[in-house]
């Protein structure tokens, strides 16, 4: 059950990153996907906190606080179209994803050290893509597609390898 819930947490976060990409590029019809992936992510975290008994990691509180803030911002529709809110949404998503990719042994151990280095590079691409998009540089859309796709792939890879033991 623990492995399934960890994979679900990371997979739903990868879906949220893809939904952010579609929303940023103004592709129609993906608003429902964003809401569904957010609630799936929240549900998987709640399931993990209730069903996994050996959960002694206090860092689970940080993602839960961010998720509550996101839900409150959506419920009260806090400046969704302002340019400041776009920047805040990007920074919050970046920090949230970076926490999941780079926090050492978060939710379970990961014995593949190269994933952390690759995650740093992917997050760098994502940061550059976000800056290009915010400054309206040419090629920003393609860079954002590559950056979000790479981040989503790394989230899936890191999430599915949590708790796996390497043979020596």
Angstrom CA distances, 13 to 9, 41, 57, 140, stand at 6, 6, 19, 22
Q: Are 34 and 56 in contact (CB under 8 A)?
A: no
One digit per residue, the tens of pLDDT, for the chain of length 168 reads 788 888 888 898 888 888 888 877 777 767 777 778 878 888 888 888 778 777 666 667 777 777 777 766 666 666 556 666 677 778 888 888 888 888 877 777 777 778 888 989 999 999 999 888 888 888 888 998 899 899 999 988 888 888 766 666
Q: What is the pLDDT of residue 59?
A: 67
Residue extents of the structural domains in the chain: 2-161
Mean confidence (pLDDT) of the chain: 80
Residues in Cβ contact with 2 at an 8 Å cutoff, skipping those fewer than 6 apart:
48, 51, 52, 54, 108, 163
pLDDT of residue 83: 64
* Measured CA distances, 4 to 1, 7, 9, 19 (Å): 5, 5, 9, 22
CA atoms within 13 A on the CB side of 40: 18
Q: Tokens 């940080």 belong to which residue?
A: 62
The per-residue pLDDT for 93 is 82
What is the tens place of the pLDDT at every residue in 60-96?
Answer: 777 777 777 776 666 666 655 666 667 777 888 888 8
DSSP-assigned states of every residue in 91-145? HHHHHHHHHHHHSTTSSS----THHHHHHHHHHHHHHHHHHHHHTT-TTHHHHHH
Q: Could you tell me the two tokens for 71? A: 């839900």
Distance of alpha carbon 123 from its chain centroid, rounded? 11
Q: How many CA atoms lie within 13 A of 103 on its CB side?
A: 18
- What is the pTM assigned to this prediction? 0.81
The predicted pLDDT at position 106 comes to 78
């Amino acid at each position: 059950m623990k492995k399934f819930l960890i994979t679900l947490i990371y997979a739903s976060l990868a879906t949220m990153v893809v939904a952010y990409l579609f929303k940023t590029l103004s592709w129609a019809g993906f608003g429902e996907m964003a809401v569904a992936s957010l609630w799936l992510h929240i549900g998987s975290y709640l399931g993990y906190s209730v069903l996994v008994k050996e959960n002694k990691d206090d860092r689970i509180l940080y993602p839960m606080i961010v998720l509550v803030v996101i839900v409150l911002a959506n419920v009260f529709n806090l400046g969704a179209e302002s340019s400041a809110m776009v920047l805040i949404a990007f920074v919050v998503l970046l920090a949230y994803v970076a926490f999941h990719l780079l926090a050492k042994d978060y939710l379970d151990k990961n014995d593949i050290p190269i994933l952390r280095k690759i995650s740093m590079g992917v997050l760098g691409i994502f940061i550059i893509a976000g800056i290009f998009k915010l400054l309206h540089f040419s090629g920003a859309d393609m860079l954002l597609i590559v950056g979000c796709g790479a981040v989503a792939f790394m989230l899936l890879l890191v999430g599915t390898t949590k708790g796996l033991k390497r043979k020596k």
